[in-house]
A and B are shown apart, each in its own frame.
Chain A
Amino acid sequence: EADIYQTPRYLVIGTGKKITLECSQTMGHDKMYWYQQDPGMELHLIHYSYGVNSTEKGDLSSESTVSRIRTEHFPLTLESARPSHTSQYLCASSAGTGPNQPQHFGDGTRLSIL
């Protein structure tokens, strides 16, 4: 079983608040990812990182930002939450070397902005 943890699991918060979604993994994986998924819809990559101090935007435009100061930690921040940010956010990680490396997912954070 993969060791990747997300907190909080659920968050209901008002518009305009600053939010940080936490993601940590204990596997020493170099690559980490954030996805956004609405109910019944496909996953969309919003950010990824290939290692410490490396971050890239994904395929779906997002108003969030990420940082990667430590290998095990990849937090996602929304500076000013809006109702359009309501979604499920999934963090994943994968080993760094070679192809055929699957991604392992955390339990996700369900975010509701009122």
Chain B
Amino acid sequence: RKEVEQDPGPFNVPEGATVAFNCTYSNSASQSFFWYRQDCRKEPKLLMSVYSSGNEDGRFTAQLNRASQYISLLIRDSKLSDSATYLCVVSGVNDYKLSFGAGTTVTVRA
């Protein structure tokens, strides 16, 4: 079983729509959670950290559900520039290595 699993998508949504997707992780002792964004043929860039109480950054909202071992990302009022692959990233325990999901592709159309 992979440490981090994501629905690969693609999620094709019109501009202005709301899109949400989850990822699940296998290690119940994981301490840190992140969402990264990766554009085609580019390096991953940190989108936001995910905190236990949930957090928001502009149009992006992240939630953590430790009991069910998943994290979610919601994008409101989608923009064309939100088209990318979103990587779910989870830390291990005590060693701070990160495990990356394979990514969820979002395509926002005009």
User: Which residues in A have some Cβ–Cβ distance to B below 8 Å?
Assistant: 31, 33, 35, 39, 41-43, 45, 48, 58, 88, 90, 94, 99-108, 110
Contact = CB atoms under 8 A, between A and B. Distances in A.
B97 A99 contact: no
Contacts of A58: 97
Interface of B: 31-32, 34, 41-46, 49, 87, 89, 91, 96-98, 100-103
Contacts of A42: 87, 100-103
Contacts of B102: 41-42
B10 to A, nearest CB: 11
17 contacts: A42-B101, A42-B102, A42-B103, A43-B87, A43-B100, A58-B97, A90-B43, A90-B44, A99-B31, A100-B31, A100-B49, A101-B96, A102-B32, A103-B98, A104-B46, A106-B43, A108-B42
A108 B43 contact: yes
A100 B91 CA distance: 8
Contacts of B100: 35, 42-43
